[in-house]
Amino acid sequence: MFEMRVISAAMLSTLICTGVSAHLKVKKIHKRAFFGEDIYIDIPSGKVSEVVFKPSTNQSTEVVILRAGQVVNSRGSINSLGYLVLEDVQENDEGEYIVKNTSNPIAAECVILLVRDCALEEVVKYGETYTIPLNQIEGPITLIFRPGLVQTNQTLIHHITRAPPVVIYNQTMVVPAEYAGRLIVTEKRVMLHSVRMSNEGSYMVLDHDGKVKKRNCLKVREHQIFLHLTYRENLKMKLYVDHSNVTIVYRPKSDNVDRVIVHQGVVLAPLDPLLEGRLIVEGSELILKTVQVADVGVFKVTDLAGFPVAHVYIEVEAYKLPPLTVAIFSMLGLIASMLLVCLLSCLYKVHKRNEKNKKLKLLAQQAAKGDGDAFREFAYRANRSKDIPTTLACTPLHLEKRNP
């Protein structure tokens, strides 16, 4: 929440200290404090110390806190150990404290102080509920909200100083109208429903005596959703707020070009041909019927202030046949393959048989002409084709030839 503010302050501090170090040997010291904390700065002993404060909110301003070892500004004090003490630091104490020793004017220290609201931030997704426990805090409480630095469409809103704190609950009732119906305060907890980016900041809880008992920081993040859909499945996308309060941009993966399909709750016409007749927006939900492979892309949802609400990435699987259909087709393919093998085998056998018949026919023609050897060959082939032993059938003929 405060990263950009911290970075900006650090950059300003570096520039100022760099300018000082051009003439002096400056030792840079970075300190980080939280609201209400006391800061101790080491200073030279005696009447040779001097401390000049340059606030990060105004680089050209110089505030002398210590001169000749004496405090000249009510903001600081010197404790018994000789340290300069800044009590109960606030955001306006953020900046550079240049510590000089008048007896050694070329040496100096630059203490860069960053002040933050909270040590930890709680991250809550847009539209969800933020809860602050009130354990061991005597009510009725007072709740003070201090806005943080936020971004709209990735552009930082540059405020040198953040907006002033706002009392959003004054022990008896919710004060700002924008929190009505969303902020619930009980004895045990504070609940803020349907959080928005504008709710990002720090929340300070004061007890019935007005003493600060707790500081909590809220960081609001957009939803990052990844959906894997099957072909012709219906997409149901949650918008987290009513569709009348959002703008939706669709970027298909095919060309990576943004298309505004819903502007401030109104479906634009003419609608993109890819989505024509399939897009429905109602309540806090977007429905895209019978998704296609060409629908792969991202839907970017923003609220009316331009803050991101959700990024929904969709992937669509290509069409696949049902497993039973695939099994049936596989079985039919196997049967067809077996039938084809049988058919080829039969054709081969028929072909071989025809070849044999041609040879037998030729032998028969030669036997008819009186060629004894051709006749015996014909008889032998004919007997083999009928699976009759050829030895017995042909033996008399051979004997007759040997004994004329």
Q: Domain ranges for the chain, please list them.
A: 27-116, 120-151+162-221, 223-316
123-144, pLDDT tens digit by residue? Answer: 999 999 999 999 888 889 999 9
Taking residues 49-70, what's their average pLDDT? 88
Taking residues 7-21, what's their average pLDDT? 48
Q: Which CATH number fits domain 120-151+162-221: 3.40.50.720, 2.30.110.10, 2.60.40.10, 1.10.540.10?
A: 2.60.40.10
Q: Please name the CATH architecture into which domain 27-116 falls.
A: Sandwich (2.60)
What the block records as the tokens of 241 is: 């707020």
Taking residues 341-362, what's their average pLDDT? 86
What the block records as the tokens of 400 is: 């007759």
309-334, pLDDT tens digit by residue? Answer: 999 999 998 877 778 888 888 899 99
Per-residue model confidence (pLDDT) at position 388: 43
Rounded distance between C-alpha atoms, residue 281 and residue 242, angstroms? 10
Are 204 and 144 a contacting pair, CB within 8 Å?
yes
Per-residue model confidence (pLDDT) at position 403: 43
Instruction: Look at residues 185, 27, 215, 195 and name the one whose alpha carbon lies nearest to residue 126.
Output: 195
200-251, pLDDT tens digit by residue? Answer: 988 989 999 888 888 889 999 999 999 999 888 999 999 998 999 999 999 9
356: Cα within 13 Å, side-chain hemisphere: 13
Per-residue model confidence (pLDDT) at position 134: 92
CATH topology of 120-151+162-221 equal to that of 223-316?
yes
> What pTM value is reported for the model?
0.59
CATH number for the domain formed by residue range(s) 223-316: 2.60.40.10
Choice between 383 and 216, residue whose per-residue pLDDT is larger: 216
Cβ of 318: how many Cβ atoms within 10 Å?
7
Rounded distance between C-alpha atoms, residue 400 and residue 404, angstroms? 6
**Confidence band of 99 (pLDDT split at 50, 70, 90):** very high
Cβ of 369: how many Cβ atoms within 10 Å?
8
